[in-house]
Structure 1
Amino acid sequence: MGGFEIRQFTCRADNFGVLVHQAASDTTISIDAPEEAPILAALDAAGWRLTHILTTHHHRDHVEANEALKRRFGATVIGPEKERDRIPGIDRTVTGGERFAIGGVTVEAIDTPGHTLGELSYYLPDAKALFAGDALFSLGCGRLFEGDAPMLWESLQRLRALPDDTMLYCGHEYTATNARCALTIDPHNLILQERVKEVEHLRVSGQATLPVRLGTEKKANPFLRADEPALAEALGLAGAAPAEVFAAMRKRRDQY
C-alpha cells in the first residue's frame, strides 16, 4: 500500500514530532512521543486517530507522552528490545534487522547504538523515509551518552547505505549549530556550503531544516564521511582509522 502523508512539527524546546499516516489502512504512527499537547494538536488538525507509537530510544524527551497517548487512543507502543525496561507503556519490541508491518506500513528496524546502547532507527521503504531519532542529525550526529565512537560510526554507516532519495527525519532541530561546526571541519566543501546557506535561510524565515534528502547528507555531513582521507588530513589525523577520525569530529562538536 502507498499513499503516505508525513507531518512534522515542533515539540518541547527543540524536539521534532512526526506523524506518518496511511489512508488506505487508516494507520497513524507517531515517531516517538516527546510531548502530548503538540501531538494531539497535529492529530486534530489532520483529522487522524493515533494507532501506533514507534520509539527510537528511551530518553525522556522521546517517550514522555507514551502512556498518556496510549490511554487516550489505545495506541500500540513499539520500541527497541534492548531498551524495553526503560520505555513506558511498551507493548511490542523489535530488534535491528527486523522487517515488520504496522497496519499497512512496512518498517525496517536498523541498529543504531551509540547515543544510547539500544537505539533503533526506522526506515519506511515505501514512503522513502528514515526516522533516525538521535543517532543522525542533519550535518551532525548524536552525542555519545552510552556508547562509544566506533559504535556510532558503525551505526551511521548502516544509515549511509540507504538510498539517496530517502528523506531524513531526526529527533531535534540542531542543524544550525551543526552547520557552523561542520564548516570548521570541512570548510571547502561546496555542497556543505550550499546546505549551510539553505539552513540559514530556513531558520531566519522560521522554517524547519528537516526533512532533508539523505543523498545531500552523504555529501555534506562530515560525520557520514569519516572514512574520507581528506577529512582525516584536515583534522591532523592522516592515516588514522575512520573511527578515530569520527571520534575527533564528535569531540569537536561536543566542545563547540
Structure 2
Amino acid sequence: MPLEIVTVPCRADNYAYLLHDAGTGATAVVDVPDAAPIRAALAERGWSLTDILITHHHNDHIDGVAELKAETGARVVGAAADAHRLPPLDLALREGDSVAVGAEQAQVLDVSGHTLGHIAFSFPGAVFTADSLMALGCGRLFEGDARTMWASLSRLAALPPETLVYSGHEYTAANGAFAVTVDPDNPALKKRVADVAAARAAGRPTVPSELSLELATNPFLRATDPQMKARMGMAGAPDAEVFAEIRRRKDAF
C-alpha cells in the first residue's frame, strides 16, 4: 500500500506504528504507549506528526498521547464509545466511519472484546488491530464476552487474506507455546513457531503477520475447523463456544 509503515518498539513488549504518506507529508501514529521512541523515530526520518490514532483506552496504548499532542498539535482520533476514558478526541469515530491519513482512507471496525469500544483501523492491505486479533493469539477478555470477541475476530478474518495484521504486542512466542497445545498436529503452526523463535533470536519483530498465516495457524481463528473442534472434544459445537473454550484454556495456560 502507498503508506510507508514503521514499527516502533515501546516499553517492554508494545508496538506503535508510524504511517507516512510521502505524497502529502501526513504522518500518523497508531497508539502511543510511550512518547519518546515515537519522537525519536519521527526525528530520524524528518517526519512531522499529523494524526494520533487510538485503538483503545488501556494505559499501555495511550500514555504518551498528551505529550505528543502538546508537542505536535496532531489530531487525536479514537472511538466515540470509548471517549469518556481516552485522551480528549478531535475526531470521534464509530463502526463504519472512515479516517484519512494523507491520501489513504482507513475503515473503522468495532472489534470489542478485549475492551468495549476497541476499534481497528483497516487500510487497503493493512489492518491495525492492537489487542483484538494478535499474532498467533487474541487479547484477554477484560470487558467483552467470548461471543463479542468471536464476532470481532470473525469480522477481521473476513478481510482479504493478503492483509497484513499489525497488532499491539510482541507476544507471539508465548502465544505459539500455547497454540501447539491445542493444535499439535498442524504443520503450518509448527513451522511458524520455529520461524518466530528464529526471528526473536535475531532481534526481529514478529509483527506484522499476514492474515492468511493467522487463518492457518492462530487457534483463535480456527474455532470453525471441524478437526480443531474434534480435538477439543467439541465436535459439532457452535464456533463461538469453541472459541470460548480455547480462550479459557489460554487464560489458564
Q: Would the TM-score normalized by the shorter structure come out above 0.5?
A: yes
Aligned pairs for 1:88-103 within 5 A: 88-103=87-102
Aligned residues: 253
- Of 239, 242, 247 in structure 2, the residue corresponding to residue 250 of structure 1 is 247
Q: Does 1:214 align with 2:241?
A: no
In structure 2, give the amino acid aligned to 1:49. S
Any conservation in 2 of the 1:66–1:89 contact (CA below 8 Å)?
no
Quick one: structure 1 residues 36 and 100, their matched pair in 2 at CA, closer, same or farther if it must change by over 3 Å? closer
Partner secondary structure for residue 170 of structure 2: coil
Instruction: Note if contact 1:70-1:89 (Cα within 8 Å) is conserved in structure 2.
Output: no
RMSD: 1.0
In structure 2, distance between residues paired with 1:80 and 1:4: 22
Counting only pairs closer than 5 Å after superposition, residues 134-145 of structure 1 correspond to structure 2 as 134-145=131-142
Shift of 1:98: 1.6
Name the counterpart of 1:186. Answer: 183
Deviation at 1:103, TM superposition (A): 2.8
In structure 2, the partner of 1:112 is: 111
Structure 2 Cα separation of the partners of residues 204 and 78 of structure 1: 36
- Where do 4+ consecutive residues of structure 1 move more than 3 Å? none
Tell me, what secondary structure is at the counterpart of 1:132? strand
Of the candidates 221, 225, 233, which is equivalent to residue 228 of structure 1?
Answer: 225
Letter in 1 for 2:51: H
Native 8 Å contact 1:7 1:18 kept in 2: yes
Task: Name the counterpart of 1:26.
Answer: 25
- Check the 8 A contact 2:27/2:101 in 1, yes or no: no
TM-score (norm 2): 0.98
Please give the TM-score of this superposition, normalised by the length of structure 1: 0.96
Name the % identity: 46
Distance between the aligned counterparts of 1:39 and 1:142, measured in 2? 23
Partner amino acid, structure 2, of 1:158: R
Q: Structure 2 unaligned runs (5+)?
A: none
Gaps of 5+ in 1: none
| Letter in structure 2 aligned against 1:202 | A
Q: What is the deviation of 1:229?
A: 1.5
Q: Counterparts of 1:252 and 1:204 in 2: how far apart (Å)? A: 27
Q: Within 2, Cα distance between the matches of 1:68 and 1:105? A: 26
**In 1, distance between residues paired with 2:234 and 2:6?**
42
Match of 1:74 in 2: 73
SS at match of 1:29: strand
The CA distance in 2 between the partners of 1:249 and 1:41, in whole Å, is 39
| 1:157 paired residue number | 154
